[in-house]
Structure 1
């Protein structure tokens, strides 16, 4: 690797999952000299960015999240065109459960000009016989699914095509702030620290380990979650993406072609240390998920669960952090809900690393001191 003006890169991105890869893509597209460093091999399953399916939706009750999802939708399409890879499939989405939350959701979407409409239980049963809905549901036609593995690969490939250097199998062990425009990044593989003007850190479950004490992080909770794929009783049924907001939930699901229908209980897993994760599903959570499928998803066979595991890294208010402290740009706390926003988050991280505009204060490191709360 060449060293220019004493720097190994203008910006070093630590973490080659979805968020870090999107930041490298956006930075490289602006002509920034960027180095992306990932600890593990391409396509690894140790974090939160692997697998075939993630929900895409605009259905949030607040303007900042809706605006970010809208931007992300356009950027997903841009990435598809540039990479020649299909990433976003529109299926429509259904939310049901808490009337209070659904009312807020409908009002927020209407204010933002996003299409959604009510569907009563009878109509829901006719349109989506695999789901059981009580009361009424909110349907939003723009929702769908993203192919996570393809997305990360496409982001990294485009970043490299635009000049980014991408290093896998390279573990960052320390980040030092040397000044307002100077950082040193030490790895297990290099005898000397790598130097850059700025560093973007998007390392998911390892955020506290790498940034604890360096920037004022919120309290982060790392858990191992275990959704599962279930086989439908009837092939060819229409499966929208769905969210179920009720006591003891939320739950979510979406079709994963070739694997069944993915169903999960949101943020239900135990706290873990990512260095000591055993990847073993917890029997009690598997039983709870199978009960949920039996009770609420009559179109799925509850005895066919194929469990997968992933990590969640959550903030206390479940709103993620996109901010900069000195030369350190932080992306953290995506709580299992951030993937839909990935390319827009990459744009924000690139802005933060190059003195561009800052995002909505809702995503700041010190939002609690500013009196900002989650929607």
Structure 2
């Protein structure tokens, strides 16, 4: 999100320094690896419009977005109606029709297919965003840890281990480290999530998918690595600086059971666990807001990556204009505890 903001700001002529704690391609946050789902399919028109904007911006960045089509099955509710109202209709299929087209899945009810869904190559996308930012004059500093952000009325100091940067505005987009820099400004929970790559049993078409059930499951093909399958959220709470990167046996077993029950085209025993973090708000909505000289991007709740370039546009607006934040994305007002 910070790289997207740097691109959008530099493209508008702002003087920009992008500060990254780790080196390129690191695995410590939520933006690494080769695959993230891209989809327009939300039951909320706000997110559908935002995904449509992101789709156009991804295409400006080159070869990062691949359309594979996507399917939703289970209790998907009003998704077809919301997408049709947004001008991006999909197609409803019976379980039999879907099973013939995608024999690697088991379906027990109607399936909603949306052709514009697909995958984003995460590592390639971050590299492209930073390259675009540098093309427009931004300076990118890797391996530069920020230890404090000091608002000073109409300016801000960003204190790094190598010195102090002074600016008119600072965009704070630090994922799992948000509370370590900003304290309890935003109610956030950081969890360790454990999707895994499973080996296909045959050469088949694998669209991205969401299975709406008790505990949402998602998946998509990752070329050269298998089919990525994950339980959406619910992982153990973790300190981002103290992660073990070790498989959690109970959740891995649940994931393998799911694959055996619902994905007969995959080998549940040929599994390679992978790890990432979710930084979540209580509602699952993002925070894209302005507080004095700080513009904050946080709480992408495991579904934010697809929106990255559009998030960059919003952050640039908040830095350079008097644009009002989207009400759904403002920092929640702290509530006082009731007196006992």
Specify the TM-score bucket, using the shorter chain as the normaliser.
over 0.9
Paired residue total: 335
Match of 2:275 among 299, 309, 327: 309
User: Which residue in 2 is equivalent to 1:15?
Assistant: none
Matches of 1:352 and 1:281 in 2, distance apart? 40
User: Which residue in 2 is equivalent to 1:162?
Assistant: 136
User: Which residue in 1 is equivalent to 2:162?
Assistant: 189
Alignment of 1:195-274 (within 5 A): 195-213=166-184, 216-217=185-186, 219-235=187-203, 237-247=204-214, 249-274=215-240
Matches of 1:265 and 1:134 in 2, distance apart? 19
Name structure 1 gaps, 5 residues minimum: 1-18, 81-85, 370-375
| Superposed displacement of residue 107, structure 1 | 2.0
Distance 1:64 1:367, change over 3 A: farther
SS at match of 1:108: helix
TM-score (norm 2): 0.96
Name structure 2 gaps, 5 residues minimum: 336-340
SS at match of 1:75: helix
Q: CA RMSD in A?
A: 1.3
1:245-275 CA-to-partner distances (Å, cap 9, x unmatched) read 112x100000011111000000031000111
TM-score (norm 1): 0.87
Match of 1:118 among 92, 107, 112: 92
Distance 1:128 1:367, change over 3 A: farther
The answer (yes or no) to whether the contact 2:200–2:227 under 8 Å persists in 1 is yes
The answer (yes or no) to whether the contact 2:42–2:82 under 8 Å persists in 1 is yes
Alignment of 1:272-351 (within 5 A): 272-351=238-317
SS at match of 1:156: helix
Moved over 2 A (4+): 356-360, 366-369
SS at match of 1:138: strand
User: Which residue in 1 is equivalent to 2:114?
Assistant: 140
1:75-111 CA-to-partner distances (Å, cap 9, x unmatched) read 011111xxxxx1111111100111xxx2221221122
